[in-house]
């Protein structure tokens, strides 16, 4: 099969991904093989390719927002059949036995494996996944529209919940890419007022089109204090900006897996019971809940489509902030 593989981490402007032929992945009894139709492009892919995250497998096929069709199944697979459409998200495997798994926090499992990081991912024509870690895709979404929901949507959904935003409150979104444009629609569904902070004019225009009541840069001050905020941009200095504009008792959630160092700050920024918290990965329940909610709203995904061979260029555009909405590789 064809796949875009990264032999070793290097800057994305050096085209670290190469199109190669690799063996078709073999099946175990509880696994199924998907013919991939689409794979979303994520900042985490960028961090894997450039080495911001310590390499776990070399070479690696990135990609963890995967939509495909079941092409083969192991003899113990019970809930999927050949021809079914399925999704593969970031969380690829957990032990199921540790204290975190037992408490419903499998996203924190120390032995967890992640798609496109520990396990070859979706920048390829096929992938093998355990049945328990795949998810059915709602019929209302096309392959392209569904792909960004599997990470951008899910991590945004978890970040929204951990931000402790209540219906009708004011929510700030710092950075406006794949995840934020989906979160905005969920928050609007909950009658929240949305304030978007982005350096990109096109990003701010999209935010306004989707219902943001104010847009500006992270250096600007919005017309009202925020009850909660989510930071998607991987820039530590934005933490100061978010806290500065946060109401007493509010929460700032950091949605990224990687962020540059957070500068030293005065205690006054976090005083008055403001909370700063990270968001780590997601659970299978997060995926199921988000897909159900996305179909109910229904969420509209804004996408830019690339061919598999264009994966380097897509990541370069992502790093430069030049993708409006979500980038998706069309595999089939």
Tens of pLDDT, residues 142-156: 999 999 999 999 999
The pLDDT assigned to 253 comes to 98
- Where exactly does CATH 3.90.180.10 map onto the chain? 2-150+282-330
- As its CATH architecture, domain 154-278 has 3-Layer(aba) Sandwich (3.40)
Cα distances from 138 to residues 39, 135, 143, 158, 295, in angstroms, run 16, 10, 10, 19, 7
Round to the nearest angstrom and report the end-to-end CA distance of the chain: 12
Q: Mean pLDDT across the stretch 170-187?
A: 98
CATH 3.40.50.720 in the chain, residues? Answer: 154-278
Reported as type and span, the H/E element at residue 216 is strand 214-216
Q: 3-class SS at 274?
A: coil
> pLDDT at residue 262 above 90?
yes
Provide, for the chain, the percentages of residues in helix, strand and coil under a 3-state DSSP scheme, each rounded to the nearest 5: 30, 25, 45
Please tell me the distance from the alpha carbon of residue 172 to that of residue 196, in angstroms, as a whole number. 6
* Half-sphere exposure in the Cβ direction for 11 (13 Å, CA): 3
- The separation between CA 24 and the C-alpha centre of its own chain, rounded to angstroms, equals 26
What does pTM read for this prediction?
A: 0.95
Q: What pLDDT, on the 0 to 100 scale, is given for residue 59? A: 97
pLDDT single digits (tens) 230-243: 999 999 999 999 99
Tens digits of per-residue pLDDT, 88-98? Answer: 999 999 999 99
Distances in Å between the Cα of 289 and the Cα atoms of 59, 106, 157, 243, 319 are 33, 15, 9, 29, 29
CATH architecture of 2-150+282-330: Alpha-Beta Complex (3.90)
Cβ atoms of 176 and 203 closer than 8 Å: yes
């Amino acid at each position: 099969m064809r796949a875009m593989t990264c032999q070793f981490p290097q800057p994305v402007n050096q085209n670290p991904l190469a199109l190669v032929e690799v063996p078709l992945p073999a099946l175990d009894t509880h696994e199924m093989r998907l013919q991939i139709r689409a794979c979303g492009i994520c900042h985490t892919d960028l961090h894997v390719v450039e080495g911001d995250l310590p390499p776990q497998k070399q070479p690696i096929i990135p990609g963890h927002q995967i939509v495909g069709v079941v092409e083969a199944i192991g003899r113990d697979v019970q809930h999927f059949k050949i021809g079914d459409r399925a999704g593969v998200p970031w969380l690829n495997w957990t032990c199921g036995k540790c204290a975190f798994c037992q408490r419903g926090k499998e996203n924190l499992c120390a032995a967890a494996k992640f798609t496109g990081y520990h396990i070859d991912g979706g920048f390829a024509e096929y992938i093998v996944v355990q049945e328990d870690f795949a998810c059915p895709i709602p019929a209302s979404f096309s392959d392209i529209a569904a792909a960004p929901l599997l990470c951008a949507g899910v991590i945004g959904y978890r970040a929204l919940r951990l931000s402790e935003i209540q219906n009708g409150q004011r929510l700030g979104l710092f950075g406006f890419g794949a995840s934020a444009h989906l979160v905005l629609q969920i928050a609007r569904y909950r009658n929240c007022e949305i304030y978007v902070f982005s350096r990109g004019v096109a990003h701010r225009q999209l935010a306004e089109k989707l219902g943001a009541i104010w847009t500006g840069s992270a250096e600007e001050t919005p017309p009202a204090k925020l009850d909660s905020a989510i930071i998607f941009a991987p820039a530590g200095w934005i933490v100061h900006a978010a806290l500065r504009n946060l109401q007493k008792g509010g929460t700032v959630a950091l949605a990224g897996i990687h962020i540059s160092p957070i500068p030293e700050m005065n205690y006054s920024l976090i005083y008055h019971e403001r909370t700063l918290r990270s968001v780590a990965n997601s659970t299978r329940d997060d995926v199921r809940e988000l897909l159900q909610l996305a179909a109910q709203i229904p969420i509209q995904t804004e996408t830019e489509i690339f061919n598999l061979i264009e994966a380097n260029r897509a990541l370069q555009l992502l790093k430069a902030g030049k993708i409006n909405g979500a980038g998706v590789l069309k595999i089939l």
